[in-house]
Structure 1
Amino acid sequence: MHRADLENADIRVDTDDLIALRARADRIKPARPMPARSALAGAHRSRFRGRGMDYRESRCYQAGDDIRNMDWRITARAGHAHVKLFDEERERPVVVVADFGPSMFFASTGAFKSVIAARLAALIGWATIAHGDRIGALIFNGGHQELQPTGGRRGQMRLIRALAQAGDPAPALGLVRGQSRKSDPDMPGKRVSAPTFSTPAPSTSASSAPASSDNDAATDTSCLTQALARLRRVARPGSLVFLLSDFYTLDQDSERYLARLARNNDLTAFQIVDPLEVDPPPPGRYAITDGVRGGFIDTAGRVGRERYAAHFARHHERVQEITGRCGIALLRCGTDQDPAERLAAAMAARTRRSGAGGYFDDGQAVRGNARLETQTAGRPRWLT
């Protein structure tokens, strides 16, 4: 990879690009099925009991209740004191959890997954502050950066700077700016246009070391689990939380933390996928590399293509099953899709269906002739 490649806005997260997305955030209205619990006044209803804009219900008088809220009509009818309860409007913090692990620095077409994640995060941030809420984040890429929810442009620019720093592919790919990595003469064939591949696929033969190892996977999994554990320090109860990742390191420990977080927060998972993770590439032998080590994917034979498709289908089903069990809405965005259009359509679809967990599809295809459809049993199937 050459220095010019690292400056490409579809490969490296660009600050100006994220700032420019402000103009496209006006169509995005994050769904809010769960009432806010923040102590600060704002534009969202809360289950805090107090004096507010909207009457909620009446109940029997209890010691300490404000006598100004007496419901004299029900008191006269019931024969004992009742008070009125109101829904107060509260500010709601929004927290973005963005994955910038090695598997996110990949794309066969369009923009890197890391760039898509950064653009989604920036769009969510702009929409959040436009609605008068606070934006926070937890960004992880081996380390963790926590941004406590902050309102206004100050909070958004802090998020953008953090995204740009985490979205630099050079450290993740072991590259130094100004240097280019030489091609391996022992790796002939059709080279995948991106420098890394998300996960070892079936029918892969390595020309050097394997594309990943158990130790690498364990480290990545631990990083995701630690990020979710730290999220409780950033996302206070009642927060609206967006998870942006390809979820290749989602495991049982991660699921436990997600289940705990989902009890008191409104979680939405955005799975970022590449077209190669939906359909196998045309028959052939493809060289892949993670920037350090290399291997091949062989899709020439029917069996190899079937194993390839089954490998990724199992991953997508597993992500849906875990998020479904946790009651988390699952949305998707391809590397070849416009994040602003996908986010606006997905949030509108989720608002219409207003749901607990499950897969929400606005009808747009992830790639050309394939999309994921929710069946009655809640399990996905691939349609071609």
Structure 2
Amino acid sequence: MNWKRHQPDPALPDVVDTTGGIDPVRVSLASMIGLRHAARSLPLKAAKIRAKRSGGFLSPFKGRGMEFDEVRLYQPGDDIRSLDWKVTARTGKPHTKLFRDERERPILLWVDLRAPMFFATRGMYKAVAAARAAALLAWSAVLQGDRLGALIFSEYKHVELRPQRGSTAALHFMKQLVEHPAWTDRTQAAIGDRHASLHALGRLRRVARPGSLIFLISDFRNIDDVAESHISQMARHNDIDMVFMFDPLERELPPAGIYRVSNEQETLTLNTRDENVRETYRQRFDAHWERWRRRSRLSGMYLMSCSTEQNVLHALQRGFGSRGA
């Protein structure tokens, strides 16, 4: 049988960037705080529009409400439905209610620390890359004056942080992220919640107010149809960006040969000499990526990727640049 040559998806990076100087298996609070300056270069535009409008206009963001701002004298072109009849009656002159977009929108980070995220053959663990991405997004949100909330989860512990404003919120989030037990005790994962992602998405759905900007940071493995429906439901009333984490070995097997692979607990032998096996392996990853790319398009979400061997800041910049954020 003739196998077609594998064509990489242009949305998945092939360029390897440096990750030198980064602990590949752990994160520290100092390293998370140290990303604050770098976050200034992220083109994250999180609802900073403040425009006075007379009533009858729709907000530019999904589910965003309009806040009452002030009353002024009626001007030609104002929507008559926005007349303030009480002020008009009291002054004898027509007055219009003005509304404005809310000053900020909540930004929510959904960070996956399940066992499969603690894996890498090159660069850093997916969990480390996810934590760095979350820290960059958290600082970007805070620097723009937006409220920050989060849901950090593993198979046996969920940490829910309600949206708060300011550096204190970012530091509290990073402290919870760094101190999550998934970093030090992965033995409980095997006996933990098999439906952790489903329950974490259900909790996120309850926390997210309409108009939120939500970042889902995960490898998106073991997410069933019910969990996926939670994401689709949230996308109806919120803007969702998906940060897809992967290791190069998950995308394609190494050159033909015999390899030993270890997860610190077990060692197995990997035979990559069979081209049929290699092609099936590639197709499995491609199907996984395509599933989420299709879902993101159908639900109006945005999907970006980050490899364990990439510079995380550059990956996010590339992702935001691709969508024209």
Flag whether TM exceeds 0.5 (same fold): yes
Shift of 1:233: 3.2
| Within-5 A mapping of 1:93-112 | 93-112=106-125
Question: What's 1:133 paired with?
Answer: 146
Encode CA deviations 1:26-73: one digit per residue, 9 max, x unaligned.
11132447989xxxxxxx9854153369x9x732336855647xxxxx
Question: What's 1:150 paired with?
Answer: 164
State whether structure 2 residue 280 is matched by structure 1 residue 262.
no
1:288/1:116 Cα in 2 relative to 1: closer, same or farther (>3 Å)?
A: same
1:330/1:350 Cα in 2 relative to 1: closer, same or farther (>3 Å)?
A: same
Question: What's 2:39 paired with?
Answer: 25
Question: What's 2:6 paired with?
Answer: none
Question: What's 2:25 paired with?
Answer: 11
1:150/1:82 Cα in 2 relative to 1: closer, same or farther (>3 Å)?
A: closer
CA–CA distance in structure 2, aligned partners of residues 241 and 227 of structure 1: 13
1:50/1:255 Cα in 2 relative to 1: closer, same or farther (>3 Å)?
A: same
AA aligned to 2:81 is Y
Asked if the contact 2:48/2:104 (under 8 Å) is kept, the reply is no
Shift of 1:349: 2.7
SS at 1:50 equivalent? strand
TM-score in terms of structure 2 length: 0.78
Question: What's 1:339 paired with?
Answer: 312
1:219/1:297 Cα in 2 relative to 1: closer, same or farther (>3 Å)?
A: farther
AA aligned to 1:121 is A
AA aligned to 2:230 is Y
AA aligned to 1:303 is N
CA–CA distance in structure 2, aligned partners of residues 296 and 35 of structure 1: 55
Question: What's 1:61 paired with?
Answer: 81
AA aligned to 1:302 is E
State whether structure 2 residue 313 is matched by structure 1 residue 313.
no
2:301 pairs with one of 328, 344, 352:
328
AA aligned to 2:166 is G
State whether structure 2 residue 268 is matched by structure 1 residue 295.
yes
Note the residue ranges of structure 1 that are not aligned, 5 or more in a row: 1-7, 37-43, 69-74, 76-80, 175-214, 353-384
SS at 1:92 equivalent? coil
Question: What's 2:132 paired with?
Answer: 119
1:82/1:110 Cα in 2 relative to 1: closer, same or farther (>3 Å)?
A: same
Question: What's 1:88 paired with?
Answer: 101
Asked if the contact 2:46/2:146 (under 8 Å) is kept, the reply is no
AA aligned to 2:318 is A
Higher relative contact order (Cα pairs below 8 Å, separated by 6+ residues): 2
AA aligned to 1:316 is W
CA–CA distance in structure 1, aligned partners of residues 46 and 211 of structure 2: 10
CA–CA distance in structure 2, aligned partners of residues 58 and 167 of structure 1: 57
AA aligned to 2:227 is S
CA–CA distance in structure 2, aligned partners of residues 257 and 226 of structure 1: 10
1:282 pairs with one of 244, 255, 262:
255
Asked if the contact 1:134/1:149 (under 8 Å) is kept, the reply is yes
Shift of 1:133: 0.9
RMSD of aligned Cα (Å): 3.2
CA–CA distance in structure 2, aligned partners of residues 83 and 60 of structure 1: 8
Encode CA deviations 1:205-239: one digit per residue, 9 max, x unaligned.
xxxxxxxxxx969943x110100000023322211
Mean Cα deviation higher: 81-90 or 110-119: 81-90
Identity score, percent: 32
1:167/1:30 Cα in 2 relative to 1: closer, same or farther (>3 Å)?
A: farther
Asked if the contact 2:113/2:153 (under 8 Å) is kept, the reply is yes
Question: What's 2:225 paired with?
Answer: 252
Encode CA deviations 1:297-330: one digit per residue, 9 max, x unaligned.
3211211211111121111112222233322110
CA–CA distance in structure 2, aligned partners of residues 303 and 12 of structure 1: 36
Encode CA deviations 1:222-268: one digit per residue, 9 max, x unaligned.
11010000002332221111000000112201111111111111111
Asked if the contact 1:35/1:238 (under 8 Å) is kept, the reply is no
1:316/1:65 Cα in 2 relative to 1: closer, same or farther (>3 Å)?
A: farther
CA–CA distance in structure 2, aligned partners of residues 66 and 259 of structure 1: 43
1:146/1:49 Cα in 2 relative to 1: closer, same or farther (>3 Å)?
A: closer
Question: What's 2:66 paired with?
Answer: 48
AA aligned to 2:161 is L
Asked if the contact 1:115/1:167 (under 8 Å) is kept, the reply is no
Question: What's 1:381 paired with?
Answer: none
